[in-house]
Structure formats: structure tokens, C-alpha cells
Homo-oligomer: A and B are copies of this chain.
Amino acid sequence: MAERTESNQTAPAERQPSRGRPRDAERDRALLAATLQVLQESGYGGLTTAAVAKRAGVSTATLYRRWRSKEDLVVGTAVSWASDLGPQPDTGSLRGDLAVLLRDKAETLEGPGGRLLHILIGEAAHNEALARVLDSAIVQPVRDRAAEVVRRAVARGDIPPLENAHVLADLVVGSMVSRLFLTPDVTYQGATDGPTSGEAAIGELLPFLLRALGAPPG
């Protein structure tokens, strides 16, 4: 009985192999990885569903059973990529919590998803679906985590309650985008050390963000 429960927890898919679900999930992952690769090579304009299907080793019919259109596929890739960002751990201090949030954002923008974000911003000016996924995939998770950081800091008595606490998310996302996307050396195919890297940016930004939230910077 104990063994059966353990098996149930670790490999539920094996116990319920109905209708090929695990293979679907594998195909989904392959399609999303292929989409990211083709986007990086060809941009949004150059991406075709045929190229993605070929890269993922599936037929275009299989791709279209899962995603209605090229746009739908790219939106799905962005949402899937963003869901890997994870929750906000409680480090016990506002400084620690902010450092984790900034570091996660820097890693996101410096990693393979950074190229995806470049492309999404480029297309967002004339594509409403891609404009909307920018918010849901990029800003909203940071907004949720930033709200949690502020809530804990207020509860600890580290800072007074804030009006418009959501502004913290704009400061975190925006300053990282400014440093990592709009400044040379990191903007172009990513140096990840040097004075414009994410790690350097975190050290410089932290005192400003702490003061902005009403906490002593030191």
C-alpha cells in the first residue's frame, strides 16, 4: 500500500496512460523549444509553422491540432517560458527579497528567453495578441512577486504601507530592461559580465529601490 501511494505520487502518468497524454506533453515541449530556436534565428516575420514543425520532428497537421496559428504558437511559447520564473522565496529581509527578484529578472533577460522578449517588444507595436502576452508573461509575474515583497516588508515593519506599490514592478522590470536591452555590450548577443551585466546592475539598483520603498539603503 505504501509502495502504491509512492508510485502514485512520483509517476501518475504511468499509472494512467490513457489517450497518449505523456507523448502529447513531450510534443508540446519539443514544439515550444523549436519555436524559440526558429524565432531566434529568423525573427517573428521569418518564422513559419512548417519550419517549427520540421525542427520539432512533427507534422504541420500535428502542430495545428495544438496551435491554431503562428501567433497562437508564439504566445504559447512566451507563456510557457514565463511559467518557469517560479515563486518569490522569503529571505527574511527586504534587501534579500529584492535581490532575489532582481537576480531572477536579470537571469530571465540574459537567458534564451531574452531574445524572445526582444522579438515580442518588436512585434507588440502592431500585434495586439503579442502585446498582451508581454504583460501576462513578463510584467504580471513580477507584479505578483513585487506585491508579495512589499506585503512582507510592511508586515515586518521594515517600511510603511505604500500607495501604488505596483510601481515597484515597473522599476524592477524597467530598470533591468534599460540596463540589459538598451545598453550596448549586453544588448548585442549578451556579455554576461562587465559593468553592464545583470549582477553589476543589481548592486547599483538595490540602494535606489530600497530608498524608493522607504527603507534605509545601507
Question: Chain B contacts of A182 at CB under 8 A?
Answer: 121, 134-135, 138-139, 173, 177
By the criterion CB–CB under 8 Å, are A122 and B177 in contact? no
Q: How far is the CA of A204 from the CA of B162 in the complex (A)?
A: 11
Question: Chain B contacts of A128 at CB under 8 A?
Answer: 188-189
Q: Say yes or no for A32: interface residue by CB 8 A criterion.
A: no
Asked, given contacts A119-B125, A132-B184, A134-B182, whether A205 binds B45 with beta carbons under 8 Å apart, the answer is: no
> How many chain copies does the complex carry?
2
Question: Chain B contacts of A212 at CB under 8 A?
Answer: 208-209, 211-212
A164, chain B: closest CB distance, angstroms: 5
21 A-B interface contacts by CB (under 8 A): A43-B122, A45-B45, A118-B122, A121-B121, A121-B182, A122-B122, A125-B187, A127-B188, A131-B184, A134-B184, A135-B187, A170-B175, A170-B179, A170-B201, A170-B205, A173-B178, A173-B182, A174-B179, A208-B213, A211-B212, A211-B214
Contact bitstring A113-154, B, C-beta under 8 A = 1, else 0: 011001101111111100110110011000000000000000
* A residues lining the B interface (CB < 8 Å): 40, 43-46, 114-115, 118-119, 121-128, 131-132, 134-135, 138-139, 163-164, 167-171, 173-179, 181-184, 187-189, 201, 204-205, 207-209, 211-214
Question: Chain B contacts of A209 at CB under 8 A?
Answer: 212
A74, chain B: closest CB distance, angstroms: 13
Q: How far is the CA of A204 from the CA of B170 in the complex (A)?
A: 11
Question: Chain B contacts of A163 at CB under 8 A?
Answer: 207
By the criterion CB–CB under 8 Å, are B181 and A124 in contact? yes
- Report which residue of A114, A126, A127, A178 has the largest number of chain B beta carbons within 10 angstroms of its beta carbon: A178
